Amino acid sequence: MTKYKYTLSGLDNIYLLNGYTITHTAYGDAVSIIDIDGLHKMIAQTLINKSKRLSPAEFRFLRKEMKLTQGMLSGMFGVTSQTVARIEKGETNPDVPYEALFRAYANEIICKKRSEIAVLIDEINFQTDAQNHKVMLQMDNNKWQEKAA
């Protein structure tokens, strides 16, 4: 069975068994991928669900699939853009909780799997009165509940 090493993803370990055609031209071989968006979504889903840590290239692939710059990602997760760059260069590894949150966010953004993590991240990042927020609780039917302010 012929397989095609798909390097345009920025990853060196992706092989396609079908779903592509190779046309020989005077300028060299031209490769056409069927449903490239679907292919990238499947690559992302595979990376998100893998049981091992993300490689630097895999981390970068997911960030780019989310259409985020290093600066945008760093602002969302409360790290410096230099930290994101160092992760993508393989100079450092993200903490496990950071990688888990990153994967959950990627799952929601790329794969459209609702986990409410994107909403939570936005709320945390754009909350301006965090220090003045009062939590109002009341007992109803022998159960504590939050009461709207």
The CATH number of the domain holding residue 105 is 1.10.260
Residue 72 inside a domain? The answer is: yes
Give the count of domains, the chain: 1
Print the domain residue range for 107. Answer: 36-126
Residue 11 inside a domain? The answer is: no
pLDDT tens-digit map of 89-145: 999 998 888 898 899 889 989 988 766 676 666 666 665 555 566 767 787 888 888
pLDDT tens-digit map of 45-93: 999 988 899 999 999 999 999 999 999 999 888 899 999 999 999 999 9
Residue 117 inside a domain? The answer is: yes
Length of the chain: 149
Residue 105 has, within 13 A of its CA and on its CB side, a CA count of: 22
Rounded Cα gap, residues 3 and 6, in angstroms: 9
Residue 16 inside a domain? The answer is: no
Tell me the β-bridge partners of 30: 23
In the chain, which ranges are E strands? 4-5, 15-16, 20-25, 28-33, 137-140, 143-146
pTM value is 0.77
Residue 84 inside a domain? The answer is: yes
**How high does pLDDT run on average in the chain?**
86
Tell me, what's the pLDDT at 1? 64
Tell me the β-bridge partners of 22: 31
Residue 79 inside a domain? The answer is: yes
Residue 54 inside a domain? The answer is: yes
Contact in structure between 38 and 51 (CB atoms under 8 Å): no
Residue 7 inside a domain? The answer is: no
